[in-house]
Structure 1
Amino acid sequence: MWRDESVTWQVAHRSPGAILDLLGRVDAVHGLYYVLMHGVFHAWDGGLWALRLPSVAATALAAAGVAAVAHRLVGERAALVAGCVYAVLPPVQMYAQEGRSYALVAAAVVWATYLMLRERWVAYTLVLLAGCWLHEFAALALLAHAFTARHARGWRWSAATVVALLLPLAAVSVRQAHQQLGWLGRPSWQDWAAYAVVGGACLLLARGAPRDLVRVALPLVLLPPGLLMAVSLLNPWYVDRYVLYALAGPALLAGARLAAARGWWPWVLAGALLVPFGIWSAWLRTPESRKDDVLAVAAAVRERARPGDAVVFMPSRRREWLLSSPEVYEGLRDPALAAGPTASDSLQGTELPPERIRAGLLASPRVIALLDPADQPLDPYPREAAKREVLASRFDLCSVTEVRGARIALYTPRGDCPPPRRSPAGRGP
C-alpha cells in the first residue's frame, strides 16, 4: 500500500458525517469515491483485498466496454482483440491494482462512449455524470465525444446536463485546487514525449481503420490529455492517471488493425510487445513501482518502537505513513499533533505551533522520526524547521533505516544512544 491508497483506506473508514466534513475542506474531487469505498468497507473490511477489488472489477468492466465499442463499430474479432489490448496496457494494469478512483472513472467513460453510439442518452448522461463525480476531469471526455455525436440533439442536451450537474463539485474543488494540486509541476518533457509517441502511433493505426472507429478513438486519445497538458502550462493540473480513460483509444485502433491484418507479421509484432509489457506488469506488482510502502514503514516502526516513544513526521504530511496502521500509531506519542485527522476535518491532522513542538520533543526520552528520502527537498515552514533544529541540537542520531520511499531515524538525548547490536561471537559486527 502506498500513500495515496493509505488516504483512501483511512478516509473510507471514517463515519459518513466525518467524510462530508472533510470534503468541505479538502479532497472533494474524490468525494464520491470515498463514499463508495466507505460502503465497501462497511460491507466487508477485507484490508487490501477490499481496498483494491473495486479497481480490479472496474478494469474488467472497462475492458468489456472497449470490446463492446469495437463490436458495434467493427465486429466480433476486433472486439476480442481490442478488449485484450486494453487489459494488458501497463498503465491500465497499474491502476487496476490500486485503491483509487481512476479505474472506475475509465470504466464509466468507456461505457458512456458505448451508450453514446447506441444513442441511449439518459443512460449516457447518468454513466458519464457518475464518472465525472468520481473525478471531474472525466468531463474532458465530452470534448472527444463532441467529434462523434455533435450533430445529435440528444447528445447536446446530455452534455449540457452533465456540465450543469457537475458545476457544484467544480465550484468546491476550484476553491481547494491550491492545496489539492499544489504539489504538481508543469508537464515534463517526458510527459510530452509520451503523448507524442502514443499520439503518433494512433495516427499510424488510424490509417486504413474504419472511419467510424477513428472518429471515436482518435479524439479520445488526443483531446483529453492534450488539453489538460496545455492548460497545465499555466495551471499545473496534469497527471497521466487523471485521463487514464484515453487509453481506450489506442486499444480500439490496435484491435481493429490486428483483426483486419493479413499475414503473420502484425501478430509477431504484437507478440513481441507482450515481452516488455509482461516485464513491466511484473514490476508493477512490486513495492518498487510506487513512491513508498506505508505498510513496510509501519512494520519498521513497530519493530523499533518502545512504550513512551515519541514519533515525529518530517514533513507532517507523512503522518499518512502510520494512519492506515492505527495499532502502531496509537501506541506512540505524537508531540507535534494538535488535532487528529478526523477531529480537524483534514487528511493528516493539524500541528502545534513551533514552540510547543520544540517543548514536546525536548520532553521525549526517545524520538522516532519518519523522514523523506535524503534526496528530497526540505520543507521551509517554521514547524518543520523547529523539528529539525531540536533534533540536530539536542539529540543524537542513533540509527537510520531506509524503507521504500522513507527513512526511519532513531534519536535519543545526548549520550543515550543504545550500543550497536552485535552478531554472535566470531561472526563480526
Structure 2
Amino acid sequence: MSDLLRLATAGDVDDGKSTLVGRLLYDTKSVLADQLDAVTADSALSTPDLALLVDGLRSEREQGITIDVAYRYFATPRRSFVLADTPGHVQYTRNTVTGASTAQLAILLVDARKGIRGQTRRHAAVLALLGVRHLVLAVNKIDLVGYDESTFTVMAKQFAAHAAGLGYPRDAVTAIPISALRGDNVVDRGGRTSWYTGPTLLEHLESVHTAPDPDQTPLRFPVQYVIRPRSAGCPDYRGYAGQVAAGVVRCGDEVAVLPSGLRTTVAGIDTPDGRLVEAPAGQSVTLLLEHDLDVSRGDMITAADAPPALTDEFDATLCWLGDRPLRRGTRLLVKHGTRTIPAIAQELLVRLDEQALSLCGQPGELVLNDIGLVRLRTAEHVPIDDYDTSRATGSFIVIDPADGSTLAAGLVGADLPIQ
C-alpha cells in the first residue's frame, strides 16, 4: 500500500493542532536536521516546540496561534500524506474551508479539559458540507486530565451523536485519546492509556480505506488561455490551455464547447514534454480541436454526450465569509472555473444552525460564518454540476464587486448536512 491520503486538521484555537502536526512530522522522522535545529533555537523551552514546525509566519510565532493554512507532506512505508493545518479562530473559518476542500479525512481536535464546543460543531458541519468522508476526533491533552477514561468516553459519545446528525455513519468517525505534547497515541502507543485498545492516530491514518470511487464524472475542461504562436513555423496553431477539472480527455473524443454549445473533436493533447493520447483530472494540458471554433478564456470544453447544466439561476449552499452580511438583492461576482460573472442574491432560502442541527427558513441575512441555501441569478448562463457529482465544477467562490475580496465559498445544489 503506497497510496496518497489528503487530510486536514480542524478545531478550536489552542487545542493543539500545530503541535499535533509537528509531533507527526517529528515522530515519523519527516523533519530535516536543519529544520529541527532552527525550531530548537526558537523555542523558549528546553525541548523543541513542535508547533513551530508548522507555524511558519512570524505573526503566528509571536502570537502562538495559526492564522493561515500550512501544508505539510510526509510519508511512511505504507502511505504518503498531504496535510493541511488550518486555523482555529472563528474569523479564520474561510481558511478551514480552503484546507478541507480537497481532504478525504479530517482530524478534529478538542481539549480534554474543555469538551465539545461551538467551534467544534461548526467545523464538523463545514466538513460534512464539503463532503469529507472520514472524521477523527482527537481528544488532545489527555495527560492534563490524568489520562481519565471517563472524560474521553463522554466526549467520544457526544461527538458521535453530533456527527450522526450530520449524516456520518458510525464507521466513518473514530475517537482517539492523545497527548500531542507527550506523544501518547499519536505515532507510538502511550502506556498511560492502557484502557484504550484502538489504533494510534498514525495507525488509523495508514489503514483507513479511502480508495476513490470509480471516476464516472464526464470531462470538464475550463479554458484558461488561448495559445496562438506568432512564429512563422506554426502559423495555424491554436491551442486551449488549462487543467482537466474532471473526467479524462482523449484524442478523438467528441466534445462540446460551452456556453456556445458547438461540437467538435479533440485532435491533440499537448504538454511541454510532448503530445499525449489522454490526460486525467488534475493534469494541465493544451487541447487542439478539429474545427476552428470561437473559444476563449472562461469557456468550458465538456463531454459532448454529458454536458453540465447551462443555467443563469441556481440554488447553492454558501459558507458566508464576508464581514458584511448577505441580504436579498445583494450584488455579487461569482467566480466559477475560469469565468467571473456578475450575479445577484435572488432569495435566501434556508440558514443552518450548526449548533442545534436545525434549519431556519427564509432568513433575513447571512452573517460571518453562517451556512445557508441561497438562490443566485447570474448575468450570463453558467455550465455547472451539482457538487455531489463533481467537486471541481460544482463549487465556486463569491467575490465582492467593490473591492475584490472573497465573500463566500459556494457549493451548487449541495444538501445542507442535516439528517
Q: Do the structures match in fold with TM over 0.5? A: no
Larger radius of gyration: 1
More helix by share: 1
Per chain length, whose mean CA-contact separation is higher, i.e. which structure has more relative contact order (CA < 8 Å, sep 6+)? 1
